[in-house]
Every structure is written in C-alpha cells, then in structure tokens.
C-alpha cells in the first residue's frame, strides 16, 4: 500500500479497528478514512453506497462487527446474524462497485466446526456442525469470507479474509455479562482481591483449551498480509499456542496476587472444547506473534484503560522479575 493511499478502516472505534489505526499511523500511513456509527450506519445500504461513491477509498480494512461473549452471542442470536450480515454485505459490495484495490475482511476462529481436528487448518471451513452458542455470528462470518471468494472469482477483486484467534488487549470489553472469557476473568479476580474475597467462580469446567492473541499483534499481522498476501483462501492469525481455561484462571490469579480458591461452575456452558489455529501458512509468509500471553496480560493490568474500566481495582501487577 502506498503511504498516501486513502485507507478506510471500518469500525475504527472497536478493539480491532483502533489497533489497526494505531499500527497504520505508526507505519506512516497518514490518509486514513474513518467514520463513527453515528456518522455512517454500515447496516444501511444506501448510506454505505453514498459514502463509497463520495470518498472512493483505495483500500478497505473491514473490522466493523457486532461482537460479544458466549452469553451475548447465545442471547441475541438474531441481532448477531442480522447486523453482521448487513455490515459486511454493504461494505464488500460497495468496495467492488467503487473499484477498491484491496479489502481485508476480519472474520473469527468461531467459523470452524465445533469438532474440527486440532490444530485447525483453513480448509476445515464448512466441514462440520458449528458450536451452537455462537452459530449465528459464525454463519455471518462464513458468509463474509465466501463473499470475498465469490467477488474474487467473478470480478477478480483482491479481497482477502483473516481469521484471528481469541483477542485481548486495549479496547477490550470488561463487562461481566457480555465480555469474552479472558477480560471477564481479569475483572473477576481483580475485584476479588480489591474486595477482600477469598473465592472466585469461573464458568464451565475449566477444561476447554483456548489460544489468545494480543490485538496489536493482530493489527501487525493484518498490515503484513495487506502487503504480502493476495490469495483467495482465508488466513489464520494466532500464536498457535493454547492453554486450558483453568490454566488461564491460575495465571491471572497469580498476576493479580489472588490467593483464594478458584471454583468452577459446571452448570455454565464450556463452548468448544479446544480451539487452536494452525498458523503454519502465516509463518511461511514471514510473520510470527511477538507478545506472549503473560507479558500481554501484565501490560493490560498496568494500563490507564484498565484502571478506568475497573475502578475498584487497587493492585499493581507484580514485577516481571
């Protein structure tokens, strides 16, 4: 991408979009195009068409989406499939209409079958049933990557798709009811220490395995792919390393100096039992993640954003030594 190219970052206020803006700005891209949802509702076809016709971006990074944790996905199933289908359909189609040079679509690792072989390779899409709790969201994301493939096949559009692992880092959601597992656990354990509690309850059995990618690593990977990847197949992005939810809880407990008991609520859903991405194709392109999980969590706990998000927190993370 040329440094003066007009780059539209859809969803720039979200966790991924904000990370993309930070990375692009740091790399010297100065002609970034952004709109808030109040300025441009990406669910509205006519509004998106007018925006693209007027602004004519050279490149598009599609990070706008309705996202949430296991409870939100399972509760607001209609909202998740409708809003995500509308957003990506409008942006992908108008990128074609206005001749965008290249588009990157942000998908999700939840597109893969619930019982997919591990580690999960990109070709496992649509080879088995999905996890029920987030199926509507996953179906929408599958439709997005298939749209990119279809526009490439019919029109020659250079549209690529990226499937990231579970994300954390700046811009995360720490609401206990609507967040993902990692930020919810950060809040639970920190508030337990601040409140002097000796017990923390963790949803599920603690046995599912997950991998976690710092959002700044994802942004760096996306820029790398915009510069070096032009193939139709989706690309996994992750560390390629996983741990159990129990191990994650124990790590967080150590980082915030929680010394009480960890209890697991077996009445809560586990979701997919293991989900670790095969990132060999990404490694072959010369990109590897830089931020280890422990270092990434320490950075989160030391940030001003974390202090603002969880005002009751009164701890400072232990020193790296």
Delineate the domains of the chain, giving CATH numbers in brackets.
7-168+212-237 (3.40.50.720)
Output the DSSP codes for 285-299. TT------HHHHHHH
240 SS3 class: coil
Mark the binding-site residues for NADP(+), compressed into ranges: 11-17, 106-109, 141, 164-167, 180
Which one of the listed residues 8, 59, 137, 168 is annotated catalytic? 137
- Residue 137 bears catalytic tag: yes
Surface-to-core class of residue 30, CB atoms within 10 Å of its CB (0-12 exposed, 13-18 middle, 19+ buried): exposed
Q: What pLDDT is attached to residue 173? A: 87
pTM over 0.85: yes
The predicted structure's pLDDT at residue 321: 31
Identify the segments of the chain with pLDDT beneath 70.
178, 311-321
Q: What is the pLDDT of residues 191-228, one digit of tens each?
A: 999 999 999 999 899 999 999 999 999 999 999 999 99
pLDDT in tens, 124-149: 999 999 999 899 999 999 999 999 99
Q: Cα(174)–Cα(272) distance, rounded to whole angstroms? A: 22
pLDDT at position 269, please? 80
How far from 225 is each of 102, 104, 186, 277, 306, CA to CA, in Å? 11, 9, 31, 17, 30
């Amino acid at each position: 991408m040329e440094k003066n190219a007009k780059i539209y970052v859809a969803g720039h206020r979200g966790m991924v979009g904000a990370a993309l803006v930070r990375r692009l700005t740091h790399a010297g891209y100065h002609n970034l195009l952004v709109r808030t949802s109040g300025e441009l509702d990406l669910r509205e076809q006519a509004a998106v068409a007018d925006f693209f016709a007027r602004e004519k971006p050279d490149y598009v990074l599609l990070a706008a989406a309705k996202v949430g944790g296991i409870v939100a996905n399972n509760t607001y199933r209609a909202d998740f499939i409708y809003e995500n289908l509308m957003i990506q359909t409008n942006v992908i189609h108008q990128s074609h209409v206005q001749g965008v040079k290249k588009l990157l679509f942000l998908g999700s690792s939840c597109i893969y079958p619930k019982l997919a072989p591990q580690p999960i390779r990109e070709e496992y899409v649509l080879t088995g049933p999905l996890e029920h709790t987030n199926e509507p969201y996953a179906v929408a994301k599958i439709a997005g990557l298939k749209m990119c493939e279809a526009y490439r096949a019919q029109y020659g559009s250079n549209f690529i798709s990226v499937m990231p692992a579970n994300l954390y880092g700046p811009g995360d959601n720490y609401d206990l009811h609507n967040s993902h597992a990692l930020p919810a656990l950060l809040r639970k354990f920190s508030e337990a220490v601040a409140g002097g509690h000796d017990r923390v309850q963790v949803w599920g059995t603690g046995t599912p395995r997950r991998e976690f990618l710092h959002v700044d690593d994802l942004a760096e990977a996306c820029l790398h792919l915009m510069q070096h990847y032009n193939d139709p197949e989706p690309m996994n992005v992750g560390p390629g390393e996983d741990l159990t939810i129990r191990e994650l809880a124990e790590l967080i407990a150590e980082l915030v100096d929680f010394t009480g008991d960890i209890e697991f609520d077996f009445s809560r859903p586990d979701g997919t039992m293991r989900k670790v991405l095969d990132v060999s194709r990404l490694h072959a392109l010369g990109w590897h993640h830089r931020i280890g999980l422990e270092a990434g969590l320490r950075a989160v706990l030391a940030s001003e954003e974390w202090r603002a998000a969880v005002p009751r927190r009164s701890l400072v993370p232990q020193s790296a030594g």
